Amino acid sequence: MGRQRAPKNVVVEPDVALKGPVAGMYTTDTGKAELIPDGDNPNGWLLMLNGVQSSHVDLAEPLRLDFEYMRWIMALVQDRWTPGEKLRTLSLGGAACSMPRYLVAAYPNSRNVVVEIDGKLANYVRDWFDLPRAPRLKIRVGEAREVTQSLTEASRDLIIRDVFAGSKTPHALTTAEFTQEAKKVLIPGGVYVVNCGDSSALINARREAATIADAFKFTAIIADPPMLKGRRSGNIIIAGSDAPLGDGAGLPRTLLGGAMPAQLWDNTKVRQFGQSALVLRDEELQE
């Protein structure tokens, strides 16, 4: 996409009252956020966090997702739940809340909690993008693992982990111990889905696949063929549940019909993919 970059060295301080997006560089609790207008869409905005593309929002259309991996996640969600269901979701990692906005629009009866570690960013995002209010969309400022551990067991249908520090997910949010904490928060048959960023070597993806397969009876992977073949860096979506995932023809057909066609790997293929990898453990944090 052709995007117009905001003027350099423009810093809007956190105490400036804003309503609606204003292009520029902003100071947050964890660094810098840059808000860039989408040159192809007058209602579109790109959010950069510490120099990395993080989110895209269309102010006029919450059901438009510019990032392919977000569309893949929502395709998985919509394969499992119909729009009228009272979906309860937890999104770990907020940024511009692109997927929670989508969930509010696609599931009018849903209740969505977003965990965002950066309080200043959360305030900015609410002002910039006029997010739905609680209880439809609640932003809780805090560290994702601590918040997850504080939640009531069997209180969520869906957990989406999309947390990055730079280009990597913090190790503490990838381990078997954390995955079990997330599983406790899910109802029986709930879905845990993670956005795994990896290089062409796919080392992280294999270990995350092994870890999620160790916790859940059923797993699935979604990614484009070049990524799955180890030809480039990018995103791999890995999901776990104690109920089957994408076992009909609908989800594979939807994924193949996107702007960037993606493949769905079933439980057997995911387990084969991760079988040579070690399950991620908390103890590695101390090494």
Query: pLDDT tens digit string along 198-253?
Result: 999 999 999 999 999 999 999 999 999 999 999 999 999 999 999 999 999 999 99
Q: Is the pLDDT of residue 3 over 50?
A: no
Do 50 and 78 fall within a single domain?
Answer: no
Do 174 and 235 fall within a single domain?
Answer: yes
The answer to which of 6-10, 31-35, 134-138 has the lowest mean pLDDT is 6-10
Q: Is the pLDDT of residue 285 over 90?
A: no
Do 247 and 176 fall within a single domain?
Answer: yes
Domain boundary among 58, 77, 92: 58
Q: Find the mean pLDDT for residues 113-130.
A: 96
Q: Find the mean pLDDT for residues 148-161.
A: 98
Number of domains within the chain: 2
Do 195 and 276 fall within a single domain?
Answer: yes
Q: Is the pLDDT of residue 114 over 70?
A: yes
> What pLDDT sits at residue 166?
80
> What pLDDT sits at residue 18?
57
> What pLDDT sits at residue 9?
37
Domain assignment present for residue 4? The answer is: no
Domain assignment present for residue 145? The answer is: yes
Do 268 and 140 fall within a single domain?
Answer: yes
Do 91 and 26 fall within a single domain?
Answer: no
CA distance 104 to 131: 10
Q: Is the pLDDT of residue 263 over 60?
A: yes
Q: Find the mean pLDDT for residues 60-84.
A: 96
Do 128 and 264 fall within a single domain?
Answer: yes
- Give the max Cα distance, the chain: 53
Q: Is the pLDDT of residue 85 over 70?
A: yes
Average pLDDT over the chain, rounded to an integer: 92
Do 98 and 42 fall within a single domain?
Answer: no
* CATH number of the domain where residue 114 is located: 3.40.50.150
Do 23 and 99 fall within a single domain?
Answer: no
* pTM attached to this predicted model: 0.93
Q: Find the mean pLDDT for residues 145-149.
A: 98
Q: Is the pLDDT of residue 19 over 90?
A: no
> What pLDDT sits at residue 1?
33
Domain assignment present for residue 2? The answer is: no
Domain assignment present for residue 51? The answer is: yes
Do 232 and 91 fall within a single domain?
Answer: yes
Classified as helix, coil or strand, 71 is: helix
Domain assignment present for residue 19? The answer is: yes
Q: Is the pLDDT of residue 81 over 60?
A: yes
Do 72 and 53 fall within a single domain?
Answer: no
> What pLDDT sits at residue 286?
58
Q: Is residue 160 within 8 Å of residue 99, measured between CB atoms?
A: yes
Return the percentage of the chain with pLDDT > 90, whole number: 89
| 3-class SS shares of the chain: helix, strand, coil, % to 5 | 30, 30, 40
Domain assignment present for residue 205? The answer is: yes
CA distance 140 to 127: 16
Nearest to 194 by CA among 166, 246, 235: 235
The range of the structural domain enclosing residue 100 comes to: 68-282
Q: Is the pLDDT of residue 15 over 80?
A: no
Q: Is the pLDDT of residue 92 over 60?
A: yes
Strand order in the sheet with 218-223: 137-141, 111-116, 88-92, 156-161, 186-198, 234-241, 218-223, 263-265
> What pLDDT sits at residue 16?
44
Residues 6+ apart with CB under 8 A from 78: 106
Do 153 and 255 fall within a single domain?
Answer: yes
Q: pLDDT per residue over 60-71, tens digit each?
A: 999 999 999 999
Residues 6+ apart with CB under 8 A from 32: 25, 26, 49, 50, 51
Return the percentage of the chain with pLDDT > 70, whole number: 93
Domain assignment present for residue 36? The answer is: yes
Domain assignment present for residue 187? The answer is: yes
